[in-house]
């Protein structure tokens, strides 16, 4: 059997292509680099946060970082505090977050079970939160992590020890105001 006609047919199909030439379309999308996503804008645009809360009047909305959905600052300008709200997959676990925070304050490693003895359970409206205070010689992290559906919601406060002493009640009140919608 002669395979030459088959090769010629394949060659013709290859050279002829699939039909008429295709048009290449270009799209130009406006950049949003200059847009600062604030807490209210995110909530209004995406409704992704299933909570409402009461933000203390002296907190000022701040620019979010790569991890936070909401951010504020408070306290004196030379020792201000940063407060953030972010979410993680539920599989991230509460304990590893508290261990990570200890590392951020450059505290020595500790037995996680011992550290978890310092965690207080807060009963909130529609869920519970795990509250912890982590303190180094110079800085304090106050935090609450609440599990809701398939996410961990992380509420974190970080400042100098002196600012934390003044702002502790306000941050705790903020966390306790959390209400599932």
CATH number where 64 lies: 3.40.1000.10
Is 76 domain-assigned?
yes
Q: Rounded to two decimals, what is the model's pTM?
A: 0.72
Is 64 domain-assigned?
yes
Instruction: State pLDDT tens for residues 68-121.
Output: 889 999 998 888 999 999 999 989 999 999 999 999 999 999 888 888 888 999
Instruction: State pLDDT tens for residues 143-179.
Output: 999 999 889 999 999 999 999 999 999 999 999 999 8
Give the total number of structural domains in the chain. Answer: 1
Is 125 domain-assigned?
yes
How is the chain split among helix, strand and coil, in percent rounded to 5? 35, 30, 40
Look up the domain containing 153 and give its range. Answer: 39-180
- Is 124 a residue whose pLDDT tops 60? yes
Q: pLDDT band at 42, cuts 50/70/90?
A: low
Is 129 domain-assigned?
yes
Nearest residue to 112 (alpha-carbon basis) of 104, 120, 102:
102
Q: Look at residue 114 in the predicted model and tell me its pLDDT.
A: 87
Is 147 domain-assigned?
yes
- Is 44 a residue whose pLDDT tops 60? no
Residues 6+ apart with CB under 8 A from 107: 134, 136
Count of residues making up the chain: 181
* R_g (Cα) of the chain, nearest Å: 27
Is 28 domain-assigned?
no
* Mean pLDDT of all residues in 2-12: 68
- Residue found by looking up tokens 């529609």 in the block: 126
Q: pLDDT band at 50, cuts 50/70/90?
A: confident
Is 19 domain-assigned?
no
d(CA 18, CA 11) in angstroms, rounded, equals 13
Is 68 domain-assigned?
yes
């Amino acid at each position: 059997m002669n395979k030459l006609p088959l090769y010629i047919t394949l060659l013709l199909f290859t050279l002829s292509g699939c039909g008429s030439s295709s048009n290449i379309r270009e799209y130009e999308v406006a950049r949003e680099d200059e847009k600062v996503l604030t807490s209210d804008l995110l909530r209004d645009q995406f409704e992704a946060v299933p909570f409402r809360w009461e933000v203390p009047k002296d907190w000022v909305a701040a620019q979010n970082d790569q991890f936070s959905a909401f951010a504020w600052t408070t306290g004196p300008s030379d020792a201000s505090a940063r407060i953030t709200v972010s979410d993680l997959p539920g599989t991230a676990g509460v304990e590893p977050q508290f261990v990570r925070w200890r590392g951020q304050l450059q505290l020595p490693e500790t037995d996680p079970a011992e550290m978890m003895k310092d965690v207080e359970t807060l009963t909130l409206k529609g869920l519970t939160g795990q509250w912890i205070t982590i303190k180094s010689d110079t800085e304090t992290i106050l935090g609450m992590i609440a599990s809701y559906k398939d996410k961990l919601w992380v509420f974190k406060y970080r400042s100098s020890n002196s600012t934390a002493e003044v702002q502790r009640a306000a941050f705790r009140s903020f966390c306790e105001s959390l209400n599932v919608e």
